[in-house]
């Protein structure tokens, strides 16, 4: 199963704030617009589920006439609080395009002084993950903004089951470009997994090795601050 992750560096106005405790005291009730619940986490971090109420407009027909109705719904997203090298991070699973509902809810709980900043891989990516597995190979690469000529730029995608070495790719040798995403296949003790880094900060992880890959990536999060 493929899971998408995104990490945020979060900071609190005081050292004595326990976000896990505060979140545990804010369940979703019939009278609240949002709330939280604690759930199990195979990775050992404090994991929670955030709920928020939404309204969906639906259309039904009565004798051929459209009738519009508003239906109440509840959306949710899972996240974990991770502490690494004295810093606090938020790991969001399968984030939607806009995670402001969750971040706004956390800010309202913590109060003035709570900050969050998305981590990206535009300039660097974790390295411990590649040093801790038996083998790693680049099997997918997407580059953007490749300057072909003065007024000509290209978007290119490459794939290889055998693996690629960017330095040996003649097509990219003399081009200026930005890496938009990179997909790696990793093997550890005979178990395979895949991880895809996007410059936006979204990481896609799949395979039986997924839990270990998440932990290895998080070891390097302080380097991305």
Q: What is the pLDDT along the chain (225 residues), one digit of tens a residue?
A: 899 999 999 999 988 888 888 888 899 999 999 999 998 776 667 889 999 988 888 888 888 888 888 888 898 999 999 999 889 999 999 998 779 899 999 999 998 899 999 998 877 778 999 999 999 999 999 999 888 877 888 899 999 999 999 989 988 888 888 899 999 999 999 999 999 999 989 999 999 999 899 999 999 998 887
- Tell me the residue range of the domain where 70 lies: 3-118
Question: Are 11 and 112 in the same domain?
Answer: yes
Question: Are 192 and 210 in the same domain?
Answer: yes
Q: What is the rounded CA–CA span in Å between residue 77 and residue 95?
A: 7
Q: What is the rounded CA–CA span in Å between residue 10 and residue 191?
A: 33
Question: Are 138 and 162 in the same domain?
Answer: yes
Q: CB neighbours (10 Å) of residue 141? A: 20
The count of domains in the chain is 2
Quick check: is 123 in a domain?
Answer: no
Chain-centroid distance of CA 11 in Å reads: 18
Residues 79-119: pLDDT tens digits? 999 999 889 999 999 998 779 899 999 999 998 899 999 99
Q: Which residues of 175-212 are buried (b: 16+ CB within 10 A; e: fewer)?
A: eebebbbbbbbbebeeeebbbbbbbebbbbbbbebbeb
What is the pTM for the complete model shown? 0.86
CATH number, domain with residue 56: 3.30.310
């Amino acid at each position: 199963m493929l899971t998408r992750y995104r990490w945020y560096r979060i900071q609190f106005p005081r050292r004595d704030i326990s976000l896990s405790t505060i979140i545990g005291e804010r369940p979703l009730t019939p009278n609240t617009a949002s709330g939280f619940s604690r759930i199990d986490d195979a990775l050992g971090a404090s994991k929670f589920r955030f709920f928020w109420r939404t309204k969906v407009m639906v259309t039904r027909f009565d004798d051929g006439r459209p009738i519009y109705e508003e239906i109440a719904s509840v959306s949710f997203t899972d996240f974990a609080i991770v502490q690494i090298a004295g810093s606090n991070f938020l790991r969001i699973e399968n984030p939607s395009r806009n995670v402001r509902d969750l971040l706004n809810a956390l800010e309202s709980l913590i109060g003035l002084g709570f900050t969050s900043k998305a981590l990206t891989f535009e300039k660097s990516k974790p390295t411990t993950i590649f040093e801790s597995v038996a083998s790693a190979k680049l099997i997918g690469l997407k580059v953007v903004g490749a300057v072909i000529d003065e007024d000509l730029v290209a978007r290119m995608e490459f794939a290889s089951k055998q693996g690629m070495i960017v330095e040996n790719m003649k097509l990219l040798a003399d081009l200026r470009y930005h890496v938009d995403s990179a997909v790696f296949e990793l093997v550890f003790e005979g178990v395979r997994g895949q991880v895809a880094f996007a410059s936006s900060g979204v990481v896609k992880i799949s395979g039986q090795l997924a839990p270990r890959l998440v932990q290895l990536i998080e070891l390097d999060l302080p380097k991305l601050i």
